[in-house]
Amino acid sequence: MNRRPSPPFSPIGWQAARLRVLFEQALQCHQRGQLAQAAQLYAQMLSLQPDHVDALHLSGVAAAQAGEPQRAIGFFERVLRRDPGHVAAHNNLGNALLALDRLDEALASYERALALQPDHADALYNRGNVLKRLDRPREALGSYDRALALRPDWAAAYGNRGIVHHVLRHFDAAWADYSRAIALNSRLAEPFYNRGRLLVDRRRFAEALRDLDQAVMLKPDYADAHEQRAHVLRELKRLEEALQAYRRAAQLEPDNGSFLATWLGARMMTCDWAGWAADVGRLVDMVQAGVEEGPTPFSLLSMIDRPEVHQRAARAWIASRQFPAAVCAAMQEPQLRPRKIRIGYYSADFHDHATMFLMARLFEVHDRQRFEFTAFSFGPESDGAMRQRLVAAVDRFVDVRERTDDEVVALSRELGIDIAVDLKGATGGERIGIFAGRPAPVQVQYLGYPGTMGAPFIDYVVADATVIPPPERVWYDEKVVWLPHSYQVNDPTRAIAEATPTREAVGLPAEGFVFCCFNNNYKIVPAVFDVWMRILQRVPASVLWLLEDNALAAANLKREAAARGVDPQRLVFAPRAPLPEHLARHRLADLFLDTAPYNAHTTASDALWGGVPLLTCMGRSFASRVGASLLRAVGLPELVTENWADYEALAVALATERRGELDALRARLAANRLSAPLFDAERFARHLEAAYVAMVERHRAGLPAVHLKVHDDATVVVADEAEGTH
C-alpha cells in the first residue's frame, strides 16, 4: 500500500502555534495579577516576532501596572509606529504620560484616541482626569458627562465628576455625584473622603466625620483622609482623637511637610511639647530641601523666627498650587472725567472675627467721595453686628461663596476694581486663586497674614518700619508700603463693659501681681514658657492669667509649670467671653506678657485698649515685631525689648521695685488711648488712602510697583532702593 508523503516541516506554522500558546499563558498570568511572569511571556513572544502588536501593547499595560510608566511608554510608542490607529494604545500611552505628570502630552494622546473613536468611554474618562489636573474644570466636566452617558453605572467617573463640581462650587451637584458613586460602589474610599470634605465646607462636622471614618476604614493608609478627619475632630473639640489622627497622617507620609506641620500645630494648640523642637527642626530641613509637599507658610510663623525660611515656604506653597499664568485686563479709563478709585476688599472674615474687630471703623471712615469700596465675601453667612456695620459702610457687598475663583475675577474686572486687597493671605479659608487670576491691575495683601505671600501676582504688602525694617525687606516678594505709625488699624469705638468682675469671680487671688497673656495657646512655645516661669519664681505671690483654649492645654501647661518648680495653682485660666466683657476683665491685670515668635496681634490691641501695658520681645519676622509696632504707635516704646534676658528683667522689675514706673506707664496709656496714632482710625484711613492713590497713579502712568513710604501728612514718596540691601 502506497503511503502519501508527509508534508514538509513549516517553521511559520510552528511559530504561530507557539505564539498562540505563549499568548494564552501570558494572558492567564496577567489576569491573575502575576505581572512579572506575564512580562516574561510577552518578552518571549517578542523574541519570536518583534512587531507583535498585542504582545507590545500588553507589555506596556503590564509595565504600567507594575509602576514603570517610562517603560510602558516605549512599548506603546512601538505599537503606534506599527499601527497608528490603535485606539487602546493611544489611551494607555496617555495614562503612562499622566503618571509621569506629562499632562499636555497625555491630553494629546487621549485626543488622538477620541479622534479615532469618539465614543471610547475610557479615553473620555481619562481625558476628564487630565483636564481636572490641568485646572480646566469645565472641559473636564464635559468629558465626564460624555463618559457617563456611555457607562451610566461608572462609580469612579461619578466620584471624579463630583470633584469637578466641587471645584466649580456646584455643591448640590457634587453631593449628588459623590452619593451616586457610593451607591454604585460602597467599597471605594475616595467618594466618602470627598463627600466628607464637602460636608466640612458646609460646616456639617458630625456628618463629615461619619464619611471620613468610612474612608479610613475602607483604606487604612489613606493619609489625606486621616488628616481631614483630624481637622473635623478638632472642630468637634475631640482633641485627643484629633491628635491621634494627625499623628497617623504624618506617620503614613513621613516626608510630607504639610502633615508634619499640622500635627505640630495641633500639639502646639494643646501645649504638648514632647519632641517638639526636633520636629520643628525636621520641618525646617524639609523647607530648605524643597520637599514636594511642604508646610503652609502660616504654620511656620509660630514655630521659628526666620523670615528667610518663611519666604522660602511661601514661594513653595504658591508654586505647588500650580495657578495658571495671571493675565491682567487693561483698566478701562473713563473718556470724559476721572472716576473714583475702586477698591475691592476680599475676605472670609466679614463677621464676628478679629479682622472685623480691627477694621470695622476703617470701613466707616473711608473717604467715599474719592473712593468706591466693594467687599467680596467668601466666608460664612452672617447677620451679626459686624456684618451689618460692614454692609452699611461699603458701596457694595457681594457674597461670592458659591462663585469660582475665575468667576470672582470676572466680576471684579466687570466692576472695574482698581486695587484688590487680600485680607486673608496664607491663612485658613483663603482664596488666593482669585488673586492668581488678577481681578485688578494692582493687588495688595494687608492685615490677615503677617509675612510675605511669595507670590509674583501680589504687588504690595502694607507694613510699617517696625514690622518690616528696610534692610529686612529682601525677605518679602511684594513691594513694601510703609505707613508712618503702625500697620495695624484699630476700631476706637469698641465697647468695654462697664462692670469689672471681682478677682475672686474670675479665679484670681485677692492679692498679688497679675501677669496675663490672652493669646491663643498655640503661640506659647517652650522657650517663652521657661521665661514666664522664671518671672513667677522671682515675683512672690504673682500669678499668670492665661486664655483657656482647651482643657488639654490647661492641663499640659500646669504639668509644665510643676516640672519647672512652679506651683500649678499660680496659672489661672480664663474661658472665652464676649468681647465687651473680655475687654473689661483686663482691668484686673497688671502687665500683659507677649509671646514670640508669634506676638499678640489683635489680643495686644485688646490689652492696650483695655488699659493694660504690654511687654514684648522683638524678633526678626513680621509676626514677632507686631507688639513693638503697637507699643511705639501708642507711645510706650520703653516696653519693647530685644532679648529674653531684658524681657525677664524688666517684667520682674516692673512687678517689684519699679511699680511706680508701671503705674506711670499705665497712666500714660490711659491718656494716649484716644490721641495716639494706634487708635486713630481716621488718621490711619488717610494714610492708607494716600498709598492707594500712589499705587493707582503709578499704574496709570505705566510705572511698575515700587517700595513706598507714607509720611504723617499723607504725602507719599518712593523709598530708597539702597535701604533694602542685605
In a domain, 325, yes or no: no
Model confidence pLDDT, tens digit, residues 566-601 = 999 999 999 999 999 999 999 999 999 999 999 999
State which residues form the domain around 108.
13-200
The answer as to whether 230 is a domain residue is: no
Among the three residues 426, 448, 483, which one is the final residue of a domain in this structure?
483
DSSP per-residue codes, 585-628 = HGGG-SEEEPPSSS--SHHHHHHHHTT--EEEE--SSGGGSHHH
pLDDT score for 40: 82
Distance CA 164, CA 709 (A): 44
Rounded to whole angstroms, the Cα distance separating 422 from 436 reads 11
Q: What pLDDT score was predicted for residue 338? A: 63
* Contact (Cβ atoms closer than 8 angstroms) between residue 58 and residue 30: yes
- What's the average model confidence in pLDDT over 530-548? 98
Residues 626-637, mean pLDDT to the nearest whole number? 98
Are residues 466 and 512 both part of a single domain?
Answer: no
- To which residue does cell 474618562 refer? 125
Claim to verify: residue 478 and residue 603 sit in the same structural domain = no
Residues 419 and 517 in one domain: no
Count how many domains the chain has. Answer: 3
Query: What's the half-sphere exposure (Cβ side, CA atoms, 13 Å) at 245?
Result: 22
Residues 475 and 544 in one domain: no
At position 162, the amino acid (one-letter code) is G
Residues 588, 558, single domain; the answer is: yes
| Cα–Cα dist 203/351, whole Å | 16
* Separation between Cα atoms, residue 114 and residue 124, nearest integer Å: 7
CATH number, domain containing residue 660: 3.40.50.2000
Q: What is the pLDDT of residues 199-254, one digit of tens each?
A: 999 999 999 999 999 999 999 999 999 999 999 999 999 999 999 999 999 999 99
**What string of H, E and C letters represents the secondary structure of 227-257?**
HHHHHHHHHCCCHHHHHHHHHHHHHHCCCCH
As to burial, measured by CB atoms within 10 angstroms (0-12 exposed, 13-18 middle, 19+ buried), residue 578 is exposed
Location of C-alpha cell 493707582: 696
Q: Give per-residue pLDDT as tens, 90-138.
A: 999 999 999 999 999 999 999 999 999 999 999 999 999 999 999 999 9
Among 255, 232, 586, 394, residue whose Cα is nearest residue 246: 232
Which of 171, 200, 229 is the last residue before a domain boundary? 200
pLDDT > 90? residue 269: yes
Rounded to 10 degrees, the C-alpha dihedral 11/17/18/23 comes to 150
Q: Residue ranges of the alpha helices (H) in 6-136?
A: 11-31, 35-48, 53-65, 69-82, 87-99, 103-116, 121-133
The CATH number of the domain where 428 resides is what?
Answer: 3.40.50.11380
Q: Compute CA 93 distance to the chain's CA centroid, rounded to the nearest angstrom.
A: 35
Residues 468 and 509 in one domain: no
**C-alpha cell of residue 703:** 510705572
pTM metric for this prediction: 0.92
The CATH number assigned to the domain holding 99 equals: 1.25.40.10
Q: Are 639 and 614 in contact (CB under 8 A)?
A: yes
Res. 323: pLDDT tops 90: no
For residue 2, pLDDT over 60 is answered with no
Look at residue 609 and tell me whether its pLDDT is greater than 60.
yes
Same domain, yes or no, for 517 and 470? Answer: no
Q: What are the backbone angles phi and psi of residue 502, rounded to the nearest 5°?
A: -75, 160
**Same domain for 554 and 430?**
no
CB contact at 8 A, 580 and 602: no
Number of CB atoms found within 10 A of residue 32's CB: 10
Are residue 41 and residue 179 in the same domain, yes or no?
yes
Judge whether residue 319 has pLDDT over 60.
yes
Are 352 and 453 in the same domain? yes
Residue 13 is predicted with a pLDDT of: 66
Q: DSSP assignment of 507-536, as one string?
A: T--SSS-EEEE-S-GGG--HHHHHHHHHHH
pLDDT score, position 365: 98
pLDDT at 334: 36
Same domain for 465 and 510, yes or no, is: no
